[in-house]
């Protein structure tokens, strides 16, 4: 990865590993008692997008894993009657070192740098069951997507050292859907999508997975795409995260 001197460029690049979908987990038939479920997952996401200067962003999952110090991610949901409450929570701590050369008034300047950051991202909301048919359930959802970053940047160029600390947050309201369709007794498809705005001009995501149902545990393998189009969040005009994910779902 080439080292970008922007605080939020470095921070958002690192968060690509951790962002993961609020999954449409296996849903039981409508019940008048609370039904709980949780999921642990890994999302092999890569980072792409554009900066305000028109530069492309491209960071693969291999580099993100290399720089990860600590990460925790999971989803929890509760359903009663036609209502579902869900939340996806991700925390990470990433440290990265790098160097690059930039053009300053026609001269190439070497820059060495180090970034240490913490990040939290979540999508939380409620869903209402609008369709319950043979082998298929569909909920309409509404909620919030929240992003928080805290970073410390150390730069060295032309014999000058610069240390900077910064933190920032971004929140958007989103509406969407979540559901599943059975293939047979054990296999089923799950899907989730949302779109929204707020502090971003636009944010949206889509995810789909094939799942296998055991007695108390389900295994999911799928693909997810998440995009932000920012109004004013550091150097980004657009940021997207995409890749395959693998999850284990628990029902209790």
> What's the predicted TM-score (pTM) here?
0.76
pLDDT 10s digits, 115-125: 666 778 899 99
Structure token digits, residue 41: 């997952």
Q: Given pLDDT bands bounded at 50, 70 and 90, which one contains residue 187?
A: very high
Residue 1 located in a structural domain? no
Predicted pLDDT of residue 160: 66
Element (DSSP H or E) covering residue 12: helix 7-14
Distance between CA 175 and CA 144 in Å, rounded?
A: 9
Residue 28 located in a structural domain? yes
Predicted pLDDT of residue 115: 62
Tell me: pLDDT of 23 over 70. Answer: no
131-143: average pLDDT: 95
Residue 2 located in a structural domain? no
Distance between CA 221 and CA 190 in Å, rounded?
A: 10
Count of beta carbons in the 10 Å neighbourhood of residue 48? 17
Tell me: pLDDT of 29 over 60. Answer: no
Per the structure, how many domains does the chain have? 1
Structure token digits, residue 100: 């690059």
Domain extent at residue 110: 7-251
**Reduced to 3 DSSP states, what percent helix, strand and coil does the chain have, rounded to the nearest 5?**
5, 75, 20
Integer angstrom CA distances of residue 194 from 234, 237, 241: 24, 20, 15
Residue 40 located in a structural domain? yes
Residue 230 located in a structural domain? yes
Distance between CA 68 and CA 49 in Å, rounded?
A: 21
Residue 78 located in a structural domain? yes
Structure token digits, residue 92: 């990470």
Structure token digits, residue 104: 């300053």
Integer angstrom CA distances of residue 204 from 208, 221, 229: 14, 21, 9
* Close Cβ partners of 55 (under 8 Å, ≥ 6 residues apart): none
Predicted pLDDT of residue 41: 83
Q: DSSP code of 240?
A: E
Tell me: pLDDT of 3 over 50. Answer: no
Write the CATH number for 138: 2.40.128.130
Q: Given pLDDT bands bounded at 50, 70 and 90, which one contains residue 91?
A: confident
């Amino acid at each position: 990865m080439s080292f970008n001197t922007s605080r939020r460029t470095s921070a958002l690049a690192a968060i690509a590993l951790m962002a993961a979908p609020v999954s449409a987990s296996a849903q039981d038939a409508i019940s008048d008692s609370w039904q709980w479920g949780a999921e642990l997952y890994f999302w092999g996401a890569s980072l792409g997008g554009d900066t305000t200067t028109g530069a492309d962003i491209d960071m693969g999952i291999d580099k993100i894993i290399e720089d990860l110090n600590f990460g925790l991610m999971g989803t929890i949901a509760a359903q009663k009657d036609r209502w579902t409450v869900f939340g996806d929570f991700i925390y990470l701590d990433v440290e990265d070192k790098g160097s690059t050369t930039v053009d300053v008034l026609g001269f190439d300047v070497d820059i060495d740098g180090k970034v240490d950051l913490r990040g939290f991202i979540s999508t939380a909301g409620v869903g209402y069951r609008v369709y319950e048919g043979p082998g298929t359930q569909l909920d309409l959802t509404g909620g919030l997507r929240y992003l928080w970053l805290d970073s410390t940047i150390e730069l060295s160029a032309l014999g000058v050292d610069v240390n900077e600390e910064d933190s920032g947050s971004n929140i958007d309201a989103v509406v969407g859907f979540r559901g599943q369709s059975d293939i047979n007794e054990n296999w089923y498809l799950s899907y989730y999508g949302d779109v929204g705005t707020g502090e971003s001009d636009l944010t949206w995501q889509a995810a789909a997975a094939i799942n296998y149902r055991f007695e108390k545990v389900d295994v999911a393998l799928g693909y997810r795409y998440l995009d932000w189009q920012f109004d004013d969040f550091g150097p980004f005009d657009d940021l997207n995260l995409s890749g395959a994910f693998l999850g284990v779902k628990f029902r209790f």
